[in-house]
Amino acid sequence: MSGNDEDTAPVHPGKVLADELVEFAMSPADFAAALSIPVATAEALLAQRISMTPDLVLRISHYFGTTARFWTDLQNVYDLHIAKGKYGAAIAAQIKPLPARPLPTAGEPEAASTPSN
């Protein structure tokens, strides 16, 4: 292992929640009731069959006293990992990267852009 974060598969937020519910000895039905969501939604999220929507993020972050950003970041990192596995190679083969611009060296001012009229 190289220790690179990209080498580690991210965890679905539903798995994180399922682990939390085990610690609290809470059933999916109790969790659903606490969040005022359908039991089927809670079960699907905990089984990692659905993603966290903004509505779920707000409810869960309020319930656990965390930031919404924590849950959206978990979901985004997971989704990006899945997309990279599905589409990354095809995208890399289809799209030519923009050529890199040279970086200014220490002490040199960056070239100023002039507005066009």
Q: What does the pLDDT profile of the chain (117 residues) look like in tens digits?
A: 344 555 689 999 999 999 999 999 999 999 999 999 999 999 999 999 999 999 999 999 999 999 999 999 999 999 999 999 999 999 999 999 999 888 888 876 666 555 555
Q: Looking at residue 110, what is its pLDDT?
A: 63
Contact by Cβ (8 Å): 71, 60: yes
Per domain, the residue ranges of the chain are: 9-91
Q: Looking at residue 106, what is its pLDDT?
A: 80
| pTM as predicted | 0.76
Q: Give, for 58, the enclosing helix (H) or strand (E).
A: helix 54-64
Alpha helix stretches (DSSP H) within 24-53: 28-35, 39-46
Taking the C-alpha atoms of residue 112 and residue 108, their distance in angstroms, rounded to an integer, is 12
Coil, strand, or helix at residue 47?
Answer: coil
CB atoms within 10 A of CB 88: 12
CATH superfamily of 9-91: lambda repressor-like DNA-binding domains (1.10.260.40)
